[in-house]
Structure 1
Amino acid sequence: MSISLLTNQSATLARDHLSTVSSNLQQSLGRLSSGSRIMAPADDAGGLAVSMQMGAAIKRQAAASGTISNAMSYLQTQDGALGAVNEIFSRIGELKVLSEDVTKNATDKENYETEFQALQEQLQALSVEKFNGLSLFNTVSLDVSTSIDGEGASVELAAVDLMGIGASLFPDFSDPLLNGDAFNTSKVGGIGGGVSISGGTISLDGGTGAIVAAETKTSFSGPMEISFDINQNGVTGAVFSASIAGTQFYSRVNETGSKNVRMEYDGDNIDVFVDGASTPSQTISGVGTLDGPLSLEGIGGVSGLQQVSNLSVRSTAPAGDASDVANASNLDSLTLSDVKGAIESVATYRSQNGAQQSRLQYAKEQLEVNRANLSAANSRILDVDVATESTALARFNILQQAGASMLSQANQSQQVALKLIG
């Protein structure tokens, strides 16, 4: 190779090699300091794409595992409540047998009835127990997904209808005590305008008057809920009111259109809710006992049609409430077959609960195994091999030092040309 003053080819090559080694050294230092093999997409574009998908799947598996754990907690809470229900039913059966003891006097039997009614109330309380706002005793099944994508595999938590299995042990207060069909024109009084009743819809055409319940149900007592829809049909200046035994609980003035009205009476106070509002629009305190006919009144002699429809009166008294003995179960009305049937139903539900817990546990274990294996596969793509990379770091360190030394010598090689000139 010729000796030149203008170009130092050896120094140029040494500089390029030093630059490459320095870049590799910096990359090796970055990998060891971060623990990641892929510092930039260019390091392994395909591997990075696969790792991102695996990382997202790992997070979904963790979320699915948490969901299953929550479902298992729900089932465990439900099973605890079912255990209490079983003990109550067992005690009710015991009370039934004791009440039939011919050596017991009337006072003894009344004491058994008192405990029976208390147990009824506890059953009612258990029937509305919740887990994080979700009823423990749903009448519909729930699906718990056991896959990471929310599709495919799932475990069905079958419905547990506590009120259904205890129906023979306490009255069902969900059936309406009264609806619009219970009204008829034969019970209308003081009407100044037209009145008609068709298909449960009550129509008042002007005038002043009242419509009371039919003879089959003209009196109510105890906690209740009254619900109805009222339509002024565009009439303005109209007044509409509803009352029980002369106590007004709703009055509507200068309103048009249709609205739903729901009245809740707790045995002393009245709260009125309009159109599903969560807070009452009207509260009447200190009403006391209501025991009289339900009346719906159109007042004011306003010309025009007012309609009341979907009228329903329901008792909200808790199960076993003895305020109205005619509507309450008692020990005499029970048979031991009723009690044994209820206990068998609880046993079936608890067995079902245990099977669901067992299946969820296996599903959770499978998710954990999958997550561990997926994490290991992702680690092989993303994580740096410390042993390999530390070896490479030592190699690049040596090469960098050697490169720097060679570049220094290459830079001095041009001095030979000066000796030839001199």
Structure 2
Amino acid sequence: MVINTNIGAGRTSRLLAESTSKLNGALQRLASGSKIVEPQDDAAGLAVATKFNAAISRNDAVQNNLSSALSYSQTQDGFLQKVSKALDRMSELMTLSSDATKSTNDKTNYLTEFTDLKNYVSDIGEKDFNGVSLFNGTSLGVTMDSDANKWSLNASALNGTDLASILASGFVVTSTLATMTTAIENVSTHRAKIGANIQRLQLTNEQVGILNENLSASVSRISDVDVATESTRFAKYNILVQSGTAMLAQANLLPQNALRLLS
């Protein structure tokens, strides 16, 4: 029995400090909802989770780009739908004007409507989306994934040869009716291409969304705390801290037994 050194109290103090540290760690994990509060909790897991979170952020940006490209293509199709309708009516007016029973006044009225529609189609050819031309045939690079791989999305070339001929021509049935038919076919072809673009953009957007879901699930498995498991640990270390505190108090009383031998 010694007085200067209390081995039991020292060991009990060390064990109490360990239990207190683990109790604080459990408290922090439950409060934050994360298993990795500090880097030393899971250094490798933290590195992987950080990389995945960065990929998720990039994919979010990719989805924003895809949504903008989708809106761009849908705007193109909306305008071309109106162009197709206008060309159909212009073709109809040409046919009506070729009727020999129509008076000069009737044909003048047809010409007025035809000219208005021609100007309408011409104006659409100059439309843009957020300052980017819709119909000048320019190739636009659309980012398709988080590795910055791009796909070329072409602005539909509305002012093609046949359509330009229609816009430049007068109201002459014999010289423009066949060309009008070709122009209508050209617009239909452009709409088909735009429809394919829209389909690809939608599928790619869904694909990136699925990738983000899987990345988020992986981050959750690495980082998110299991409340049931952590609550069990908290209860365990809470009891150990309380019992350790009580035992340390008892250990500190042991040297007093030496006084009894001296009395």
Q: TM-score, normalised by structure 1?
A: 0.60
Task: Give the deviation of 1:44 after TM superposition.
Answer: 1.6
2:244 equivalent to 1:407: no
The answer for the alignment partner of 2:159 in structure 1 is 163
Partner Cα distance (1:137, 1:40) in 2: 54
The structure with the largest alpha-carbon Rg is 1
More strand by share: 1
2:176 equivalent to 1:335: yes
The answer for the alignment partner of 1:379 in structure 2 is 220
The SS at the match of 1:387 is helix
| Structure 1 residues 364-390: Cα deviation after superposition (integer angstroms, max 9, x where no partner) | 111111100001111111221111111
2:24 equivalent to 1:16: no
Fraction of identical pairs, as percent: 44
More helix by share: 2
Aligned residues: 262
2:222 counterpart letter in structure 1: I
Structure 2 spans left out of the alignment, 5+ residues: none
Partner Cα distance (1:349, 1:371) in 2: 33
2:257 equivalent to 1:416: yes
RMSD: 1.3
The SS at the match of 2:167 is coil
Task: Give the deviation of 1:51 after TM superposition.
Answer: 1.2
The answer for the alignment partner of 2:189 in structure 1 is 348
The answer for the alignment partner of 2:234 in structure 1 is 393
Partner Cα distance (2:136, 2:34) in 1: 49
The SS at the match of 2:166 is coil
The answer for the alignment partner of 2:54 in structure 1 is 56
| Structure 1 residues 259-284: Cα deviation after superposition (integer angstroms, max 9, x where no partner) | xxxxxxxxxxxxxxxxxxxxxxxxxx
For structure 1, which segment, 129-138 or 49-58, has the greater mean C-alpha deviation from structure 2 after superposition? 129-138
The answer for the alignment partner of 1:127 in structure 2 is 125
Which of these residues, 37, 41, 44, is aligned with residue 43 of structure 1? 41
2:135 counterpart letter in structure 1: F
Partner Cα distance (1:109, 1:331) in 2: 11
The SS at the match of 1:4 is coil
> 1:155–1:360: 8 Å Cα contact kept in structure 2?
no
> 2:165–2:179: 8 Å Cα contact kept in structure 1?
yes
Q: TM-score, normalised by structure 2?
A: 0.96
Structure 1 spans left out of the alignment, 5+ residues: 172-327
The answer for the alignment partner of 2:76 in structure 1 is 78
| Structure 1 residues 216-263: Cα deviation after superposition (integer angstroms, max 9, x where no partner) | xxxxxxxxxxxxxxxxxxxxxxxxxxxxxxxxxxxxxxxxxxxxxxxx
The answer for the alignment partner of 2:65 in structure 1 is 67
Partner Cα distance (1:83, 1:389) in 2: 60
The SS at the match of 2:165 is coil
| Structure 1 residues 133-162: Cα deviation after superposition (integer angstroms, max 9, x where no partner) | 1111122222322111212xx443234111
> 2:76–2:156: 8 Å Cα contact kept in structure 1?
no
Which of these residues, 200, 203, 210, is aligned with residue 369 of structure 1? 210
Partner Cα distance (1:132, 1:385) in 2: 47
Q: Which has the higher contact order (CA 8 A, sep 6+)?
A: 2
| Structure 1 residues 299-354: Cα deviation after superposition (integer angstroms, max 9, x where no partner) | xxxxxxxxxxxxxxxxxxxxxxxxxxxxx622346432111101111111111111
2:248 counterpart letter in structure 1: L
Partner Cα distance (1:44, 1:356) in 2: 44
The SS at the match of 1:335 is helix
Task: Give the deviation of 1:91 after TM superposition.
Answer: 0.7
The SS at the match of 1:147 is coil
1:352 counterpart letter in structure 2: K
The answer for the alignment partner of 2:137 in structure 1 is 139
The answer for the alignment partner of 2:29 in structure 1 is 31
2:208 counterpart letter in structure 1: L
